[in-house]
Amino acid sequence: MSTRLLPGDRAAADPERALTLGVMGGGQLGRMFVHAAQQLGFRTAVLDPDATSPAGLVAHAHVQAEYLDEAGLQALADTADAITTEFENVPAEALRRLAARRPVAPSGDAVAVCQDRAAEKAHFVGCGVPVAPHAVIADEATLAAVSDDLLPGILKTARLGYDGKGQIRVADRAALEAGWAELGRVTCVLEKRLPLAFEVSVIVARGRDGRVVAFPLQQNLHRDGILAVTTVPAPAGTPALEAEAIGCAARIAADLGYVGVLCIEFFILEDGSLVANEMAPRPHNSGHHTIDSCDLSQFDLQVRTMAGLPLAKPRLHSPTVMLNLLGDLWFDAAGAERTPDWAEVLALPGANLHLYGKESARRGRKMGHLTITGATPAAARETALQAAALLGIAPF
């Protein structure tokens, strides 16, 4: 039996209080979630230790506390009627504690799987989803037992790696041993390097009733381990590939008992086969374009999964190219800080600029994104290339 939270309802304990949706984390994904919740008439609450977090600045309530602070968790539970997370590294234990008091989606147990590459790979395999050949390295014995067939490979920390952090390319055994030492001899996953053709991602939303809806296949370009460009429809995609990727994502979500928005990143190999790379238990950077290109955004669906509202299938109404805007754009060639010329960019047809309200720019920091929509995929790409040239982003 599912619980439905409607914005016009009143909480039983306090008939004068409108329903509030809470989010753990105050970054840009939390900010976009807050906006989507407010559009449907919900109040919002954010728990984040940063007094000037992007989401905290726009929410109705900001609980400024560390993620495992018991008083902070109690304050969020007292304020919010249902709670979600905006980043995968929020402590799973915090979500478990909150779930004893309020509905939490996704669950702490599901998030815990996403936080550990070894557990994540095991879950993919258990769902029958292809993955790269790999080995878990936890100690000297498992390091010595690594098969030569896995080299050259990529060594990744099992926990706390994202945006290219916590991973090293290793060509041979000597490099593997040195790389493991460089990563602190923590538990790692070694993945065999495969002949990669391109990368895609799929975003699905799963309700408490098991219904799953999906966005169209997204083709992604990463630079230095950070997402740079997303294109939809996927230029190299096919209907068969899209169906396979969505089917894999739906199985992964179902086997987790997942409730919420889930992103699965896939590698497409030169022979056309698909292997799962990793998953994110939340809306994803590659899906930010949905705010402008679809009739329902990934954040709209996140709100609906939390509130038990109907999950309508989202529709892509405009082909799109999304450019990730990193802090590098706020510095000129000499390293002096500047503000990009947004006026020139916004003069382009179909340009939708989203800045995240961060107080300072740093190289590699995600400061915003630019979505270009067009009547055709070719038109969207042409305009996106013009925008990239204006901003100093390398062509793609």
The answer to whether 167 is annotated as binding is: yes
Confirm whether residue 117 is marked as ligand binding.
yes
Residue 366 is labelled as binding a ligand: no
278 annotated ligand binder: yes
191 among annotated binding-site residues: yes
Is 25 annotated in some ligand binding site?
Answer: no
The answer for residues whose C-beta is within 8 angstroms of residue 272's C-beta and 6 or more apart is 197, 241
140, two tokens: 């000297």
Q: Long-range contacts for 385-392 (Cβ within 8 Å, ≥24 apart)? A: 386/348, 387/323, 387/345, 387/348, 387/351, 388/323, 390/341, 390/344, 390/345, 391/323, 391/325, 391/329, 391/340, 391/345, 392/329
Question: Is 192 within any annotated ligand binding site?
Answer: yes
Per-residue exposure over 314-344, b if at least 16 CB sit within 10 Å of its own CB, e if not: bebebbbbbbbbbbebbeeeeeeeeebeeee
Phi, psi for 63 (deg, rounded to 5): -90, 105
> Known binder of ligand: residue 222?
yes
277 is in an annotated binding site: yes
Q: Is residue 156 marked as binding?
A: yes
DSSP notation for 184-228: TT--EEEEE---EEEEEEEEEEE-TT--EEEPPPEEEEEETTEEE
Residue 193 known to bind ligand: yes
State yes or no: 177 annotated in a binding site: no
As annotated, the binding site includes 117, 156, 161-167, 191-194, 199, 222, 277-278
> Binding site residues for ATP, as ranges?
117, 156, 161-167, 191-194, 199, 222, 277-278
